[in-house]
């Protein structure tokens, strides 16, 4: 469903989005796969303290998704009930 809320990003994805361009600048000409591999290595090398901001962003985004999904599910339920009522009337 194109109107469904987008899932929350993981802590790693926030990290990757923040660092992808830097990896490309430091390593011109590397492939997409190599960028991903380097990002993964850098993520694994982070300390818990360095990961914390990304984990906090992920937790905030997860909450956003859960809130949007709850609202979306209510909207879908209301629409289904309306359609059922219209079907009964026809």
Please state, in angstroms and rounded to a whole number, the distance separating the CA atoms of residues 9 and 30.
25
Q: What's the domain range around 80?
A: 11-89
The stretches in the chain having pLDDT less than 50 are none
Please state, in angstroms and rounded to a whole number, the distance separating the CA atoms of residues 76 and 26.
47
Does any domain span residue 69?
Answer: yes
Is the four-CA dihedral 20, 26, 29, 34 of positive or negative sign?
negative
- With both helix axes pointing from N to C terminus, report the angle between 32-45 and 11-26 in degrees, rounded to the nearest 10: 120
- Determine the pLDDT at residue 17: 98
Sequence-distant (≥ 6) Cβ neighbours of residue 25 within 8 angstroms? none
Give how many domains the chain has, as a whole number.
Answer: 1
- Determine the pLDDT at residue 71: 80
Is the pTM here over 0.85, yes or no? no
- Determine the pLDDT at residue 53: 98
* Domain containing residue 55: CATH number: 1.10.30.10
Half-sphere exposure of 80 (CA within 13 A, CB side): 6
């Amino acid at each position: 469903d194109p109107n469904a809320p987008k899932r929350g990003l993981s802590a790693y994805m926030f990290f990757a989005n923040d660092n992808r361009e830097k990896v490309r600048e430091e390593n011109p000409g590397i492939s997409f796969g190599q960028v991903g591999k380097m990002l993964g290595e850098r993520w694994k090398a982070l300390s818990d303290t360095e990961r914390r901001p990304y984990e906090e962003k992920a937790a905030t985004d997860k909450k956003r998704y859960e809130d949007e999904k709850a609202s979306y599910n209510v909207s879908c339920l209301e629409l289904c009930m309306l359609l059922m009522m219209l079907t009964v009337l026809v």
